[in-house]
Amino acid sequence: MGRISAVFKADQTETRSNYSISEWWLEPHTKGPGAHSHEEDDVFYVIEGTMSILVNDTWIDAERGAFVLIPGGVTHDFENRGDCRAGILNISSPGPFEPAMPDISAWFKAHPPGYAGA
């Protein structure tokens, strides 16, 4: 997805569609998917770098090791405003989330991630 990549670590087959686990990597100064909400809960765990995470109307600069819970229905987003590549582990519950990836990839192809300032 341009400057963003995602790898699913556990999908619907492995979790009986109860949840999905994915790893998301953003290159430096890369905006994420844009503010959105959905019924599923999202759990984010920062595995490298610093990820700026929007929760409702507040941005949190979450450093490596940070855990952020986004309950279903809460507006959220994430982006990498730093100078180094950043990664997060995402648990989406209930699942499955991965069937949406073809549409998400097509959206990013039509709308490449923008620049995220520091």
Listed in sequence order, the DSSP H helices in the chain are 12-15, 101-110
pLDDT the model gives residue 118: 61
Fold for 4-100, please state it: Jelly Rolls (2.60.120)
Q: What are phi and psi of 93, to 5 degrees?
A: -140, 135
Residues 4-19 have pLDDT tens digits of 999 999 988 999 989 9
CB 40 within 8 A of CB 65: no
Domain extents for the chain? 4-100
Mean predicted lDDT score pLDDT of the chain: 92
Residues 6 or more apart whose CB falls under 8 angstroms from that of 22 comprise 6, 7, 8, 9, 89, 90, 92, 97, 98
Rounded-to-integer distance, Cα 83 and Cα 85, Å: 7
Predicted model pTM: 0.89
Residues 32-78 have pLDDT tens digits of 999 999 999 999 999 999 999 999 999 999 999 999 999 999 999 99
pLDDT at 88 over 70: yes
